[in-house]
Structure 1
Amino acid sequence: MGIALPDTMTCVEISQPGGPEVLRATERPAPIPGPGEVLVAVEAAGVNRPDMLQRQGRYDPPPGASDLPGLEIAGRVVAIGEGVMDWGADDKVCALVAGGGYAQYCTVPAPQLLPVPKGLSMVEAAAVPETFFTVWTNVFERGALRPGETLLVHGGSSGIGTTAIQLAKAFGARVFVTAGSADKCRACEELGADRAIDYKTEDFVAVIKEATGGRGVDVVLDMVGGDYIARDIEIMAPDGRHVSIAFLHGPKVSLNFFPVMTKRLTLTGSTLRARSVEEKGRIAAALREKVWPLIGEGRIKPVIHKTFPLARAADAHALMESSTHIGKIVLTVEE
């Protein structure tokens, strides 16, 4: 079922590995939903660091996924594959996808769809899936953050960081973040962070030791890696959990494991893109139950830094690489 669809669509492809300039608008056949999938007419698509890594040739899409970049979208259902029962034509949805988001149309496994949260625009809804899926599964599932505990987030002004601050505060945690300027730190504290630490002028280890009376933090969400991991371990509380989701400073580290043993720490991490449809569907269901009501009440909202039309995806990537943004960068898509 659905509406009459064009045979072709505009999309943005990676012409070759390289800088933002290798992103090229082109025409391709419009995708057709297979069994268990829906086709979404994309109105907005989020821009994320994994898109940049893929563009650079450092993060291949999983087997069977589109080679087009783009991991999160918002739009309207326009066609439904065999066996899909829970969605209908013209439903407003947002979704996590394994690729293909930089396009006018994108197929999505039905379990990965979510309704556009109450009160959000399509641009805001497109900024939700990748960061909210990532924060939920890493902070609240792998990191097991509980009310009354303390969370440290590196990269507090990023899309992941601004989401983690709001979710952790909504669920009763104390939040520390690091960020790279006074303006970014101010923005993090306005979102609810108890203390934002400018890593260019302050030592986050010393700040957290003083602020916690030497106890440290219960959970660390780390997208920096490298030398940060040893410093994180130094300020983790007994039975703390360290969750790695990216390695801006590199994946290889030298660690003293003695405090890991004496403080009974857990070091873990995850990636999201290659996980199964069933796993992503389970995360989607948890978000719909636990988080969507908070968004509907206005207690949590994605932070949008800037939007670009789809054809200017290269400019969006250049902005993300500059690290001057606070929150999310989103592409807007016209039919």
Structure 2
Amino acid sequence: MTQLMRCVEIARPGGPEVLVPASREVPVPEAGEVRIAVAFAGVNRPDALQRAGAYDPPPGASDLPGLECAGRIDAVGPGVTDLAVGDAVCALLPGGGYAQYAVMPAAHCLPVPQGMGMKDAACLPETFFTVWSNVFQRGGLAAGEVLLVHGGSSGIGTTAIQLARAMGARVFATAGTAEKCAACERLGAERAINYREEDFVAVLKAAGGADVILDMVGGDYIPRNLEALAMEGRLVQIAFLGGPKASVDFAPMMMKRQTITGSTLRPQSVLAKARIAESLRSHVWPLLEAGSVAPVIHRTFPMEEAAGAHALMEEGSHIGKIVLDMGAGPAA
């Protein structure tokens, strides 16, 4: 008898309303993969891009949205020896998280940190993989340096603020309301800048410049970011909410010996993401287990209300992460 699961499909490219509950066959893990009975799934902006038809899943990945989840392993594929049925894990997914069961490479799973529940753990993979690989591995942020985080109240932003502070950096952040700025400062930013009222370039210049800037805005922020960077500063681009194009005078960049870099996580190879996972396990998981860093959750929605979760994310009033309760278990 075919086992079915509940899931959320993208009926057609469009707004949040195109997310619809559905039933599908439970996926089967292949060699090197595991299957998780999903308890909770994180909601992220790439999910909304995929829903809108602007971010196709990589070849071979599920067409269901969802890039991170937490739950218990309920099946392992051939060749998996370091994980077993019943293990509590959170995982980075190539897709398929908005479902009661999801498969992923075993190497992209991390243990649920000791003392942490499944809901919090579901918030970890996408944001922590992204922040760690971009701010620390690509951007090279070091203790004593200054990090500027744009979108400081987002899931990425709240993670970056906490990790940078835990690693001994000074943190500045931008946000669009007084409430969001206050939240950034409670998390460890020494100065949160309301971008509707202040010029972040002037604030950072007065502080001596940023050594690393984590930006998801792009557009006209790109030349302003370069202006706000210190000598030898690094601009790390992870998204383009304001557009991917800008007019830039590169002469000051050369004079200040600045670096522009960036990455997207989803298209990277299985091995590349496995290496990020191992680095997180060594350097970041102890911080989570010690309580030095923790996910910030704004609201949880039942799986059937995924459209409402996306509408809230795109409306932009949330602080931290939005989570779906997937209610792991078969539909039939």
The aligned residue for residue 274 of structure 1 is 267
After TM superposition, the structure 1 = structure 2 runs for residues 1-335 of structure 1, keeping only pairs within 5 Å, are: 7-210=3-206, 212=207, 215-334=208-327, 335=329
Q: Secondary structure of 1:238's match?
A: strand
Q: TM-score, normalised by structure 1?
A: 0.97
Q: Secondary structure of 1:206's match?
A: helix
Q: For 1:96-131, what per-residue CA distance to the aligned partner results, in whole angstroms no more than 9, with x for missing partners? A: 001000000000101000000112111100000000
Which letter does structure 1 place at the counterpart of 2:139? G
Aligned residues: 328
Question: Identity across aligned pairs (percent)?
Answer: 64
CA distance in 1, matches of 2:222, 2:16: 30
Q: For 1:64-101, what per-residue CA distance to the aligned partner results, in whole angstroms no more than 9, with x for missing partners? A: 10000000000000001000000011100000001000
CA distance in 2, matches of 1:228, 1:200: 13
Superposition CA RMSD, Å? 0.8
Which letter does structure 2 place at the counterpart of 1:289? S
Consecutive unaligned residues in structure 2, runs of 5 or more: none
CA distance in 2, matches of 1:268, 1:254: 17
Which letter does structure 2 place at the counterpart of 1:63? P
CA distance in 1, matches of 2:304, 2:2: 19
- Following TM superposition, by how much is the alpha carbon of 1:333 offset from its aligned partner in structure 2, in angstroms? 1.1
Q: TM-score, normalised by structure 2?
A: 0.98
Q: Secondary structure of 1:26's match?
A: strand
Which letter does structure 2 place at the counterpart of 1:126? A
Q: For 1:278-323, what per-residue CA distance to the aligned partner results, in whole angstroms no more than 9, with x for missing partners? A: 1111000000000000100010000000000111100000000010
Consecutive unaligned residues in structure 1, runs of 5 or more: none
CA distance in 1, matches of 2:256, 2:203: 20
Structure 1 segments of 4+ aligned residues over 6 angstroms from their partners: none
- Following TM superposition, by how much is the alpha carbon of 1:6 offset from its aligned partner in structure 2, in angstroms? 6.7
